[in-house]
């Protein structure tokens, strides 16, 4: 069995991290290759020498989808590789595959991955996803949304995203050391949000408004992710009067250390699949707070393994942060242990095994 994983666009996000983790884990079991953009340093540095890398996309922003050479290169990769299965890890990636598909004499099985519950248009459904053999969805919530919309229910396969539990683990004994290393204050209560700066999806504006209402002068909030250190983020922090209390750190490679140096994790998303960043925080034993976007409610239970509010609930976010601050050491420890236990069910090994089962099923149909 020969599988090609395909990803588009440079940069780092939950989709890229899942592609990396799944590809790396699958390589232990099958012959898997990765097609990716030129100069995608994050993936190249992580996977060079681990799996064969095939470069097809010249990423020049939004214009990349109009570059016919990108399509031609991907077409040649698939023809020359003689793959049995091709996996599109994003919607744009599947756009590439849809347009080159008619030119493939040997038709590999196509797997599309849907990471959100947004319902594609009827044109996208009938022109694009109709050719997919299977459509992987990353949570039961996304599965139910698509099923209710009659979005090829016979093709839908739920496979939850996974966490690298070897990298994200509780290290409370290192908190003081890590704060000193990272330059974090030793005597403050630290909240962390890990999400690329996308207000329409990740809702950092909602989070900042809620944090501004929090009556805690000894609390700070760190925003971690692409563009959280750019001018738009700085302006919004200033508009809410949060300078000196909220800091944008930008993209970071040391997220496990940042989480272990903090006290709490908070996510304010409007839309999610399974929310890998939230599971990573739970895996490190943080007491977490999140909006119930996407599939989060499948595992986050309010007051048991963290705290939860409805999407867009500013007052609720602020009130739950107050609640987190009032936890006794015993209460914090109990919730922390439940969080770690929950995250352990979402190991990347379990995710990869489910993909292997799907691939074997598709191979039998060939």
Percent share of the chain, pLDDT over 90? 89
Burial 97-110 (b: 16+ CB within 10 A, else e): bbebbeeeeeebbb
Q: Mean pLDDT, to the nearest integer, of 143-160?
A: 93
CA separation for the pair 12, 36 (Å, rounded): 13
Burial 315-346 (b: 16+ CB within 10 A, else e): ebbbbbbeebbebeeeebeebbebbbebbeeb
Confidence (pLDDT) at 277: 95
Q: Could you tell me if 134 and 158 are in contact, meaning their C-beta atoms sit under 8 angstroms apart?
A: no
Each residue of 252-296: pLDDT tens digit?
999 999 999 999 999 999 988 889 999 999 999 999 999 999 889
Each residue of 215-263: pLDDT tens digit?
999 999 999 999 999 999 999 999 999 999 999 999 999 999 999 999 9
| Range from 103-107, 144-148, 152-156 carrying the lowest mean pLDDT | 144-148
DSSP string covering 245-279? TEEEEES-S-HHHHHHH-SEEEE--S--SS-HHHH
Q: Which residue has the tokens 């609720």?
A: 316
DSSP letter at 121 equals P
Q: Could you tell me if 221 and 245 are in contact, meaning their C-beta atoms sit under 8 angstroms apart?
A: yes
| Most distant CA pair in the chain, distance | 65
Q: How confident is the model at residue 145 (pLDDT cuts 50, 70, 90)?
A: confident
Domains and CATH numbers, the chain: 2-162+347-365 (3.40.50.2000), 172-346 (3.40.50.2000)
Q: How confident is the model at residue 365 (pLDDT cuts 50, 70, 90)?
A: confident
Each residue of 110-144: pLDDT tens digit?
999 998 777 888 888 989 999 999 999 998 888 98
Residue 77 CA from chain centroid, whole number? 27
Percent share of the chain, pLDDT over 70? 100
Mean pLDDT of the chain: 95
Give the up-direction half-sphere exposure of residue 244: CA atoms within 13 A in the CB hemisphere: 4
Confidence (pLDDT) at 164: 95
Each residue of 279-338: pLDDT tens digit?
999 999 999 999 999 889 999 999 999 999 999 999 999 999 999 999 999 999 999 999
3-state secondary structure (DSSP) of residue 301? coil
Neighbouring-strand partners of residue 220: 190
For residue 244, give the nearest of 225, 219, 213 by alpha carbon: 219
CA separation for the pair 128, 142 (Å, rounded): 18
Confidence (pLDDT) at 366: 64
Judged against a pLDDT cut of 90, whether residue 352 lies above it is answered with: yes
Which run of H or E residues covers position 346?
none
């Amino acid at each position: 069995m020969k599988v090609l994983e395909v990803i588009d666009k440079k940069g780092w996000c939950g989709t890229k991290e899942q592609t990396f983790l799944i590809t790396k884990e699958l390589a232990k079991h099958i012959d898997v290759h990765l097609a990716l953009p030129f100069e995608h340093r994050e993936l190249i540095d992580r996977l060079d020498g681990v799996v064969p890398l095939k470069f097809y996309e010249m990423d020049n922003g939004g214009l990349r989808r109009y570059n016919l050479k990108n399509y031609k290169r991907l077409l040649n990769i698939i023809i020359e590789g003689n793959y049995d299965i091709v996996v599109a890890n994003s919607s744009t990636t599947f756009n590439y595959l849809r347009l080159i598909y008619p030119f493939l004499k040997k038709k590999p099985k196509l797997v599309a991955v849907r990471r959100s519950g947004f319902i594609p248009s009827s044109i996208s459904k009938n022109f694009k996803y109709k050719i997919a053999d299977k459509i992987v969805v990353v949570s039961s919530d996304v599965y139910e949304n698509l099923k209710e919309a009659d979005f090829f229910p016979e093709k839908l396969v739920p496979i939850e995203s996974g966490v690298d539990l070897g990298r994200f683990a509780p290290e409370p004994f290192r908190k003081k050391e890590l704060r000193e290393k990272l330059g974090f204050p030793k005597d403050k209560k630290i909240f962390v949000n890990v999400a690329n700066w996308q207000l329409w999806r990740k809702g950092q504006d909602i989070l900042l408004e809620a944090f501004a209402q929090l009556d805690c002068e000894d609390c700070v909030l760190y925003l971690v992710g692409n563009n959280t250190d750019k001018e738009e983020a700085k302006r919004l922090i200033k508009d809410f009067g949060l300078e000196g209390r909220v800091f944008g750190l930008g993209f970071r490679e040391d997220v496990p250390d940042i989480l272990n140096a903090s006290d709490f994790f908070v996510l304010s998303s409007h839309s999610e699949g399974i929310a890998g960043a939230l599971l990573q925080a739970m895996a490190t034993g943080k007491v977490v707070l999140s909006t119930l976007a996407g599939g989060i409610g499948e595992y986050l239970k309010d007051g048991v393994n963290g705290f939860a509010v409805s999407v867009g609930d500013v007052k609720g976010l602020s009130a739950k942060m107050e609640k987190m601050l009032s936890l006794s050491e015993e209460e914090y420890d109990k919730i922390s242990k439940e969080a770690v236990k929950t995250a352990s069910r979402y190991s990347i090994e379990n995710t990869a095994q489910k993909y292997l089962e799907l691939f074997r099923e598709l191979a039998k149909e060939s």
